[in-house]
Structure 1
Amino acid sequence: MHIEFLRFSLPDVEPLVDFLTEEEWPYHVGTQDRETVRRRAVEGLYDNEETRTFWVLVDGEHAGLVKLQDLNDDTPLFDLRIRQAWRERGIGTKAVAWLTGYLFTELPGISRIEGTTRQDNHAMRAIFRKSGYAKESHYREAWPAPDGTRYDSIGYAILRRDWLSGTVTPPDWHDEPACSDR
């Protein structure tokens, strides 16, 4: 299995429209229709000063999409989507390893990278942990689903120094001062 990452460009608009609208994305908020995706792509939503999008190509097939966001900030975010047919093959783990190396190498001013997922997206949470990301946040009932269910939103991040050293520095979860009144 040969995996490569190819930067999105305007000739890729129709494959992007197909990718985002013909697949079900259960852990992403909101659905988009074909025209909305097309318009946003032409307007530069997927490639501009703040955002770079890359195809995850597996043996030449569009198996996934990596969207890097907030690139002018010292803490960019990312969105990762892997087609159903390609899930559970290690592609997500390889994509997160690639995007982490890419961001820390290409953007020397960034100090950390963040990602967020829904609490029940166990595959993505495992990818974060395998990739050296530490859990940093847990927002209760912060992720609305189309059916009205509200899930917890879980945030992970990796520090540049941890990436360089191959370590994980967890946050201090016990830093709250004792509360005397209640």
Structure 2
Amino acid sequence: MDIIFRRLATTETEPLIRFLTSENWPFHGAGELDRETVGGWITEGRFESAENRTFWIVAGGATAGLLRLMDLADQTPLFDLRLRAEDRGRGIGTLAVTWLTRYVFEEFPDARRIEAHTRQDNLAMRRVLRRCGYVKEAHYRDGWPSSGGAVHDAVGYAVLRRDWTSGDVTVPQWNDEPFD
């Protein structure tokens, strides 16, 4: 599959608004976005700033998704991945997470780890994260409010630079609480 990651240009306001408002994003806090919300996000620098970078995911010459990197000045950046409904389930998510992991660790030498958060029921994203060397580190009960008032559990994953470099996976020590 021919995939490229192209940095969002600051002049691409309309394509970005069209992309984000034309789909339902079922595993994001706001499943449906409107023009005003996205315009506000663009103005505040949510997509392009000193701490945020955004890339179009282009598959076979067509826009398949959007990858946003956040908190790039921190030692633990985060990311947001959105794929068009028609492009989900094609392996693009795995390619995108593999690419972004390499990109962050190569471009940002102070990044020690990369975090990802998703809803517990987003099984496809959880599989992608595990395939890409990310490890589940947290489970947040009722931690993900969504549109319509529903609340879901959230899960947190991360990859450590040292694991990415070595190809190993360091599993958290889960049974470390003292018992009375």
Q: Deviations over 1:28-72 (max 9, x none)?
A: 002431122124224422100010000001112110110000001
User: Could you tell me which residue of structure 1 aligns to residue 24 of structure 2?
Assistant: 24
Q: For residue 101 of structure 1, give the secondary structure of its aligned residue in structure 2.
A: helix
RMSD (Å) for aligned C-alpha atoms? 1.0
Contact map agreement 1:14 1:38 (CA 8 A) in 2: no
Q: Distance in 2 between matches of 1:152 and 1:39?
A: 28
Q: Unaligned stretches of 5+ in structure 2?
A: none
Which is further off, 97-106 or 146-155?
146-155
Answer yes or no: is the 8 Å Cα contact 1:13–1:42 preserved in 2: no
Matching residue of 1:34: 35
For structure 1, which segment, 34-43 or 120-129, has the greater mean C-alpha deviation from structure 2 after superposition? 34-43
Which residue is equivalent to 2:128? Answer: 127
Q: Report the CA distance shift for 1:113/1:86 in structure 2 as closer, same or farther (over 3 A).
A: same
Aligned to 1:46: 47
Q: Deviations over 1:66-88 (max 9, x none)?
A: 00000010000000011101010
For 2:10, the aligned partner's letter is L
Distance (whole Å) between structure 1 residues aligned to residue 102 and residue 113 of structure 2: 11
- The aligned length equals 179
Q: Percent identity?
A: 54
What is the alpha-carbon distance in structure 2 between the residues aligned to residue 120 and residue 20 of structure 1?
22
Please report the TM-score for the alignment, with normalisation by the length of structure 1: 0.95
Question: Residue 140 in 1 paired to residue 156 in 2?
Answer: no
How far apart, CA to CA, are the structure 1 residues paired with 2:42 and 2:151?
A: 29
**C-alpha separation between the residues in 2 aligned to 1:54 and 1:15?**
12
Is the 8 Å Cα contact of residues 65 and 82 (structure 1) preserved in structure 2? yes
